[in-house]
Chain A
């Protein structure tokens, strides 16, 4: 049996639901929700809402995302960082109506490596903003969303 089938058979969804209702997932995640940041329309506004002023480009941040999205509704984006003292990682899709797609708090001592899926309506730069040692750093990758067809 494959892993996927095993999980299906094991009722993984029920387990996750149980975990949520039992309060295993951190309530803090909801408490620290930064409404202003998620409502912001541009990359600069998001960084401002997060409390930063300047953003510095960094080669120590790696974004793993497709060059061309296979499905704009679920684009896998992962970010890892080699910067010291990472406090948070945010994923921004520049051309989305609300740029900030996800924000991860990184507790001290945790490996700075996160991944999620974001929705994209059109081709856009995807930015990873990393807060480390009180400063903000950014790396950028273009992800194309195309109509499809007409290939080869």
Chain B
């Protein structure tokens, strides 16, 4: 790096009040040993998950609210900021600290630059595969959804990019929202002989026949191994059932045990589950099934620096979660001697675009994918004064922007926006492009709804989602965040029982009345009736609003009053 660039960085850091010292700044610009990860053992898994179709480098702010209660209290993944750094021995101000936490987000993002991007990820994958002969690249799903180009190409851009990246095995969740037929077309044609699409928990609704291969058996450096697939168990509930009407999902713990026993009996010495359960479900599952060496997990977008060992009747199972948006690549090495695992190493490597050269052939593919849409994607609709992000249990500034747009454009007193965990972040001063809006809204069912809802129904909705987030049994959680709410204020007691968590619902200075009706705007409905109404997609509503404003001032986050969080390390 040139001295001038370094001084520039210093100035940026100073101006933004970042808690970074000159050593960190210098490290910011030199790859040094950051990606030097010596090979360990003889069985190697590279794990990416939940990239949500982000082909280009992006910013992504980790949450400052990720509450856990009961058995999950103050344990990974329910640790944020300093608490997470302390648990995993990460130094504040360091490059890793920026990757794993929200701390000093804007200042650090300016110093360390963007993360992810398939061209940079490809370089890292190639580097890891070169140092680890036989290594397999596993994709945990939520890969074909989350961007404009993925939506417009019906997932084809991501399918092509994954083939180019060299994905070996995959499972899924949002992929299913392209419809059963499209998923099968990709599995049977594009992926044939190249990528194993595995899911032991997707069965036909009539005879419970397996829809996909439950697992794949391989041999790596002379060691027989098995990778079992676990798709998102609640796909037909969290997303519209009409996309996969003839398929049934679920956790299917007993079926999983049978599959593990089967691959073990076939000689597999290392057995891993490629899972889209979400980390809390994975941690419980790991305590109950025998014979899994590791669960490589996703869905809940938890960038957890370490592998969590979980004891069960059969021994110990490691549980990992590899974050989201192409920001991380997990590297799990096992040393297998005499048919048994003797030791392991796990590292969740952040993908810093500035430190990894762009892979030329991937770069060319991405350029080709984007070329027809580049002008449309890049159009600046407005400029934001403040940082925009989504992650957090209750609200994010980009969600607030969507809520504000819905209430304004639809003339509604209350708005709901789903607690999705995908969506990229923007720094203050950035132009909000059409691509950014699609990053937050691109689904196959982003219809806008306007309805008259009774106060009672509004409470039912909030209670229902709250239970999906805070049910003390992880098997009853769906892994999204709380529905974002505009206009309406409320209090939430996460420790309350089902139906009894929400209180103090108010609109302005008036309490919400159970029998009164309110005009509520929302989007991403799951019913067929809402689909058939063919209403305006939410990205059009947001675009209309952005263009009318041109400059977006800092949003005032509408957050509920949250009870019983004293001492909870999932909140900062």
Interface contact A150-B480, CB-CB below 8 Å = yes
The answer to the question of A151 belonging to the interface, with a C-beta cut-off of 8 Å to chain B, is yes
A3 within 8 A of B: yes
Closest to A69 in B: B237
Q: Which B-chain residue is minimally distant from A70 (CB atoms)?
A: B236
Which of A66, A148, A149, A152 counts the most chain B CB atoms within 10 A?
A152
Pick the contact of A144: B174, B461, B467 (CB < 8 A).
B467
A149→B234 CA distance, assembly (Å): 10
Tell me, in angstroms, the Cα distance from A148 to B209 when the chains sit together.
25
Contacts A4-B204, A67-B250, A152-B420 given; indicate if A147 touches B460 (C-beta within 8 A). yes
CB distance from A98 to the nearest CB of B (A): 22
In the complex the two chains form, is B207's CB within 8 Å of A152's CB? no
For B251, the chain A residues whose CB sits under 8 A away are 67
CA distance A69 to B249 in the complex (A): 10
B479 within 8 A of A: yes
Q: Given A144-B476, A152-B142, A152-B479, answer yes or no on A68-B209 (Cβ-Cβ < 8 Å).
A: no
**B479→A151 contact, CB < 8 A:** yes
The answer, among B238, B473, B479, B498, for a CB contact under 8 Å with A148, is B238
Residues 36-72 (chain A) with a chain B CB within 8 angstroms: 64, 66-71
Q: Which of A132-152 contact B (CB under 8 A)?
A: 142, 144, 146-152
**Set A144, A147, A152: member contacting B299, Cβ < 8 A:** A152
Q: Give the interface residue-count category, chain A.
A: 20 to 34
Residues A152 and B232 in contact in the complex (CB < 8 Å), given A4-B206, A144-B476: yes
**Those of A48-107 within 8 Å (CB) of chain B:** 64, 66-71, 76
Nearest-CB distance from A61 to chain B (Å)? 15
| Across-interface contacts of A76 in B (CB, < 8 A) | 248
Does B230 make an interface contact (CB < 8 A)? no
B468 on the A face (CB < 8 A): yes
Within 8 Å by CB of B241, from A66, A67, A71, lies A71
Chain B contact residues: helix, strand, loop or mixed: loop
Instruction: Tell yes or no: B54 within 8 A of A by CB.
Output: no
CB contact between A152 and one of B241, B480, B483 (< 8 Å): that residue: B480
Which chain B residue has the least Cβ–Cβ distance from A123? B498
Interface string of B178-201 (1 = CB under 8 A from A): 000000000000000000000000
Interface size class of B (residues with CB under 8 A): 35 or more
Cβ contact within 8 Å between A152 and B478: yes
Evaluate contact between A151 and B478: CB separation under 8 angstroms: yes
| Chain B residue at minimal CB-CB distance from A3 | B207
Contact, CB under 8 Å: B464 / A70 = no
Q: Among B420, B464, B475, B479, which residue has its beta carbon within 8 angstroms of that of A146?
A: B464
User: Quick check: B498 and A151 within 8 Å, CB to CB?
Assistant: no
Which of B239, B250, B471, B479 is in CB contact (< 8 Å) with A66? B250
For B237, B299, B421, B460, which residue has the most chain A Cβ atoms within 10 angstroms?
A: B237
Closest-by-CB residue of A relative to B281 is A67
- List A contacts of B237 (CB < 8 A): 68-70, 146, 148, 151
Closest chain-A Cβ to B485's Cβ sits at a distance in Å of 11
Q: Which residues of the partner chain A approach B204 to less than 8 Å between Cβ atoms? A: 4
Does A152 lie within 8 Å of B238, measured CB to CB?
yes
Interfacial residues of chain A within 1-51, with CB under 8 A of chain B in the complex: 2-4
Q: B238 is contacted by which of A3, A67, A151 (Cβ under 8 Å)?
A: A151
Is B526 in contact with A149, judged by CB distance below 8 angstroms? yes
Query: Taking the complex as formed, is B173 at the interface, i.e. its CB lies under 8 A from any CB of chain A?
Result: yes
Q: Is B166 an interface residue (CB 8 A)?
A: no
Inter-chain CA distance A2–B465, complex, in Å, is 38
A149 in contact with B418 (CB, 8 Å): yes
Closest residue of chain B to A150 (Cβ to Cβ) is: B418
Return chain A residues, CB-CB under 8 Å to B418. 149-151
Q: Any chain A CB within 8 A of the CB of B330?
A: no
C-alpha gap A68/B474 in the complex (Å): 11
B421 near A152 with CB under 8 A, answer: yes
Residue of chain A at shortest CB distance from B300? A152
Q: Which 5 A-B pairs have the closest CB atoms?
A: A151-B238, A151-B480, A150-B418, A149-B526, A151-B478
A-B contact pairs, 7 of them (CB 8 A): A67-B251, A144-B476, A150-B238, A150-B419, A152-B142, A152-B174, A152-B300
Known: A123-B467, A148-B241, A149-B238. 5 other contacts (CB 8 A): A4-B207, A76-B248, A147-B465, A151-B480, A152-B278
Chain B residues with CB under 8 Å of chain A are 142, 173-174, 204, 206-207, 209, 232, 234, 236-239, 241, 248-251, 254, 278, 299-300, 418-421, 460-461, 464-465, 467-468, 471, 473, 475-476, 478-480, 483, 498, 524-526
